[in-house]
Structure 1
Amino acid sequence: MQDKQIEVILNPTSDFFDENDSRWAQQKNLLVSDLQGRATKVEKRIEPVEGMKGGLETLIITLGPAVITGIVDVVKAWLSRDKSTKIELSANINGKMVSFTADANGLDKNMLKEFLQQAIEKAS
């Protein structure tokens, strides 16, 4: 299981910032920067959307069991910087998308860690 890896989609959102606000872009870039070096791979994918400048941005990290604790710490620290932020983590587990949503007020580090561990264990 140590070699097993999984892709997790991260969708950060804010109740305060508009999606096109440069301050929001800075916060998301900080998240990416913090994740780099922790996750096996960090990637931004942008899908064109008609009428939307730049397109829909998706943040994808690849991780294995050895980096779960570091990822959980990064997510918790990032959420605690701004109480208006939330983050949804989704993983494809045996063909089914499973999600976990957290905000600064309700992040249970153990639950997030367990979610990621289960995602890796059950990934085919």
Structure 2
Amino acid sequence: MPEVHLQARSDRFDEDDERWRSQVLLLHMALEEAAGPLERRSEPVPGAKGALSDVVLHLTGPGIVAGVVAGLNAWLKRDRGRSVHLTWTVDGRRGEFIVTTNTSDNETLRSALEHGLRAAAGDATTVDELADPNGAPGD
């Protein structure tokens, strides 16, 4: 089961700013609604702004991927200073990308996430396993 680590970041707020913490809490709630309970890991990064906690998403099916993508995009579009750093490791292969408001829409993010997971898995994951819940094949 692919694990994706997600870290919310901000250009405007320090990680300990209560306003930022409340914004990240809203993201976590949306992700829990889409993907189920989140695993939270905290690793402070000296000098970094906005990095709160690392959460782990367990992407067990295409419906969860679609829900996570929709939740991420909705949250990112509320503030241009937000970004999300996504990382994963599958069979020792690591992948990562950073999503910002300017570079994200549902289709782009879904395709990038699915492509990254397939590449990390050495294409062991089939397109059908990552298919869109509406029946469209994954990219």
- State the TM-score, normalized to the length of structure 2: 0.72
Task: Please name the residue that 2:9 is paired with.
Answer: 13
More strand by share: 1
Q: Is the 8 A contact 2:89 2:120 kept in 1?
A: no
Tell me how many residue pairs correspond in the alignment. 115
Aligned partner of 1:32 among 6, 28, 35: 28
Q: Is the 8 A contact 1:39 1:63 kept in 2?
A: yes
Task: Please name the residue that 1:75 is paired with.
Answer: 72
Q: Is the 8 A contact 2:94 2:120 kept in 1?
A: no
**Moved beyond 3 Å, runs of 4+:** 47-50, 120-124
**How big is each residue's C-alpha offset from its partner over 1:3-60, in whole Å with a ceiling of 9 and x where there is no partner?**
xx3110001100000111011110111100001121144121124789xxxxx72111
Farther-moved stretch of structure 1 (56-65 vs 12-21): 56-65
Structure 1 residue 113: Cα displacement = 0.9
Aligned partner of 1:96 among 93, 97, 113: 93
Identical positions, percent: 34
Let me know the Cα RMSD of the aligned residues.
2.3
Structure 1, gaps ≥5 residues long: 51-55
Q: Is the 8 A contact 2:93 2:120 kept in 1?
A: no
Structure 1 residue 96: Cα displacement = 1.9
Structure 1 residue 87: Cα displacement = 0.5
Q: Which has the higher contact order (CA 8 A, sep 6+)?
A: 1
